Amino acid sequence: MVVCLQADKMVRLKWPLFQTLRGVFAVYKPPGIHWKRLRDTVETKLLKELNSLEQRVPRQQIRFLPSFTEGENGVETSLTVAQLPVLADHPRVKGPKFVGLKVGAGHRLDLRSSGVLVLGVGNGNQQLVHLHDRHLTKEYNIQGSFGTATEDFSDTGRLIERTTYDHITLERLERIIAVIQGIHQRALLTYSGIDLKSQEAYELASRGLLRPMHKSPPIITAIRCVHFSPPNFTLAIQCLHETQQYLRKVIHEIGLELKSSAVCTHVRRTRDGIFTVEDALVRTRWDLHSIQAAIQDSRSKVNATLGATVTSQGKTCPLGSKARRGGAGVQDPHQWGRMHTVHGF
Amino acid sequence: MASPNVRRHGNLIMVNGTKMSSLCHRICYRWSSLRITGLVFSSKQETKVLPKASYSLRSWSGFNTHPCLLTQKLWRLENPNLNSSAADSPPSKEDGTARFTESSILLNTNQNLGKTEPSRLAIDVQPVALDDAPHPSLFEEISEEEALRIEASPPLPPTSFTLRDYVDQSETLTKLVLLGMDLSKLKMRPNVANMLLRLDFDRDIKGRLLFLKDVGVDDQLLGAFLTRNPFILTEDIENLQMRIQYLQSKKFSKEAISRMVSRAPYLLNFSVERLDNRLGFYQKELGLNVQKTRDLVTRLPRLLTGSLEPVKENLKVCRIELGFRENEIQHMVTNVPKLLLASKKKVTRLFDYLHNTMGIPHHLITKFPQVFNGKFLRIKDRHLFLEHLGRAQYDPTQPNYISLDKLVATPDDVFCVEIAKGTLLDFEAFQKTL
């Protein structure tokens, strides 16, 4: 006979555990770890805990076993009833009950960056898709340093040139930043795809709800300097549809604009849509209990954003593509005040 | 098949002589019942399952049904309690199934069930002259004894993905599971399952288990041992004994040997020359004396079972890249043997961080080789936290010195409170700023 390889099918979780393990939650990705490895680690830890909680009761079977008793005329056979567990259900024969769990990752972070990474479990993966369609902004804290230029715009790349940076002042930096913001604001107006001369556009822009609802190049909606001590400086950037390498390139270009050069030392995401650093779980807290609690906490926020009630099956009915002007009244709680005209979601 | 049986019956009749008529009757229908089994199977060609009373003409690896059937019949004949009254005969349908599995009982009692499990894909069913046999009626009476022994279980599938289908019926597998062997892990290794089904508990497995017990493997660990190395059940017992004798000749104590065998289940599968080679290698490369080599190997017997190439690579890395001296390497390896089997990349990365970023010199790392057991991210987080608090002091001559083993080995809350003089929440908040 041939015994082949076959992975066990994914088993449906029991109802109470299933209900709490559906949704989205945020983890804090440390630098130097690939996001896929992080997702795999979370899945493995959850599976291990679920399997340890699972108690399997084997089926019982009734067997009539022959027994030999001493009788008058010699050895007699008779049958005794015995209730034995079916060994095919024994965990050492069947294996662990849970073999796979659907854990999906939201907007990715590359190897060197760190920060908030949103994961979804079970039904939450669908919510992740809807959250992505909402095109919410993300916030980054980017640390840079003047004086060097490298090949891949980061401090670990191959060095291309060294420059002086004594002439750089905070005022000059802020001027450059404002120029960048202006450029991106014009891009925002273009890509949001509405007629600029209409009343609708004016209202949205004034309320700060203008966003491109479809694929677009990276757009920086807000940028400011939070720390400046040459050669090091830190910028806080609010952006859409970006990649971390693009942000490093922005730092490089800022250096060029200031007639010097700059490299990015660290990229850190502080907010991804509605999830902030406070909601994110640290590495030591990636266990079943904390994740369940995190999902519970984020449920109301997610429901409010997606603008629908969660049905009893856990399905969300979002407003869909009709809600092009997104947000449905959800304002950005992290507005930066009067510095910028376009802000938030 | 007709002639040998008849001959056999003929002999038996001649041997016993008493109650000939009833004997004849019983023997005749016994013979005919075997026929029925054969017939039933031949009509169900698609099942491909070997009949449990395999045809006696079949030549099989060492297994001969002849004596079994023969002894069974002798026993039956001597038993004066055989009773085949019409009143007790079970209904006809049961008869049919009874016949089908009746012969299985014959072998059940002889505990050869494991052996007769279908273990071959292509069934070379001997074309027995079944068509010549008369078809006995299903209403034939059988004795109560035989009726009681009927265990009508559904037929086993000829091929399967798991051992679940066979474990209830096979005594070998049942006993292995009850010993603690994990069959679910073994289904990933395709040859193992086939091999296990071919084994017979009494003949093959019992002897080797007793041997392992003599060596000193703990009963609870036996299951895990067999899960890791099921091939020990096919090793020659003489070879195993020879290898134990070799280890004893090298002056390994009994506890040491039992420890080594428990922790490296594949150890006894290695030939004596191979073991000798490995021991010699470690003695030469590390330059340790005999006693220290013995201790090293007792602590980490995996050194003897794994390949030597990674160990050579690791030693080269330690000497050339990391710049440790010979005596330093000897000291570290005797304290933390895992260093020899650790991944080259991880060791280099950790050392790079310790030496270049944290500024710890070679002699301190040599003094605390257990840092190589720690996880890189953990050490990095803790170091940055201490630096943030201004307590990153690893020089023993300075005040507020923090030793490396405390940095690595203490759990998080103890570390935060005692060493960093902060709280766990502070530490987590700090981790989120990295």
Q: Tell me the per-residue pLDDT of A192-203, one tens digit each, with 9 for 90 and over.
A: 877 778 888 888
The closest CB to that of B167, out of A6, A64, A87, belongs to A87
Contact, B274 vs B267, CB < 8 A? no
Single-letter amino acid code for the residue at A92: R
pLDDT at B194 over 60: yes
Q: How confident is the model over B255-301, as pLDDT tens digits?
A: 898 898 888 888 888 889 998 998 888 888 888 888 888 888 899 98
Complex ipTM tops 0.95 = no
pLDDT score, position B17? 40
CB pairs below 8 Å between A and B: how many?
104
B237 touches chain A (CB under 8 A): no
Q: How confident is the model over A173-196, as pLDDT tens digits?
A: 999 999 999 999 888 888 887 777
Contact, A295 vs A197, CB < 8 A? no
pLDDT score, position A62? 80
A87 touches chain B (CB under 8 A): yes
Spatial separation of the C-alpha atoms in residues B194 and B172, rounded to whole Å: 12
pLDDT at B196 over 80: yes
pLDDT at A146 over 80: yes
The residue from A110, A133, A152, A287 that is catalytic is: A110
pLDDT at B74 over 90: no
Is the Cβ pair B161, A95 closer than 8 Å?
A: no
Q: Look up A110 and say whether it is catalytic.
A: yes
When the pLDDT of each residue in chain B is averaged and rounded to a whole number, the result is: 72
- Average pLDDT value for residue range A86-98: 83
Degrees, nearest 5: CA angle A151-A153-A159: 45
A90 contact residues in B (CB cutoff 8 A): 167, 177
Chain A nearest-CA distance from B211, in A, is 24
Q: Which residue of A has its CA nearest to B149?
A: A66
Q: What is the pTM of this model?
A: 0.72
Q: Which residue of B has its CA nearest to A87?
A: B168
Higher pLDDT pick, B427 / B65: B427
Q: Is A193 helix (H, G, I), strand (E, B) or coil?
A: coil
Degrees, nearest 5: CA angle B371-B375-B377: 120
Contact, B358 vs B383, CB < 8 A? yes
pLDDT band at B85 (very low <50, low <70, confident <90, very high): very low
- Cis bond upstream, residue A85 (ω within 30): no
% of chain A residues with pLDDT over 90? 53
Contact, B128 vs B216, CB < 8 A? no
pLDDT score, position B131? 58
- Average pLDDT value for residue range A138-164: 93
Contact, B316 vs B308, CB < 8 A? no
pLDDT at B49 over 70: no
Is the Cβ pair B120, A1 closer than 8 Å?
A: yes
A9 touches chain B (CB under 8 A): no
A98 touches chain B (CB under 8 A): no
When the pLDDT of each residue in chain A is averaged and rounded to a whole number, the result is: 82
pLDDT score, position A87? 81
A85 touches chain B (CB under 8 A): no
Q: How confident is the model over B317-332, as pLDDT tens digits?
A: 989 988 899 899 999 9
Higher pLDDT pick, B129 / A79: A79
- Cα B356 from chain centroid (whole Å): 46
